[in-house]
Amino acid sequence: MTYDRLVCANCAAPVNEGRCPVCRANRERLQQGNPFAGLNPMTLIALLAVLIAAVALLAHQTA
């Protein structure tokens, strides 16, 4: 889950902006739980596409 759309119940601001101590604490907690949490979904899709292309290239060379 990405935290870019979560809204803080304490200050009613987006959690990713980190306006209050509760936002900052939750943002840090979410980032520690997953090393890919700091990446946006488009970056993850691009990385996945590169990985698939690399595997396809290796499979084509060995066949």
Q: What is the pLDDT along the chain (63 residues), one digit of tens a residue?
A: 455 677 888 888 887 788 898 888 877 887 776 776 667 788 889 999 999 999 999 999 986
Within a domain: residue 34? yes
Number of domains present in the structure of the chain: 1
pTM attached to this predicted model? 0.47
pLDDT the model gives residue 1: 45
Q: Write the CA distances from 22 to 2, 17, 25, 45, integer angstroms.
A: 17, 11, 5, 30
Within a domain: residue 9? no
Torsion angles phi and psi, residue 38, rounded to 5? -75, -15
Within a domain: residue 46? yes
Within a domain: residue 36? yes
Q: In whole angstroms, give the CA distance from residue 30 to residue 9.
A: 16
Structural domain range at position 48 = 15-62
Within a domain: residue 29? yes
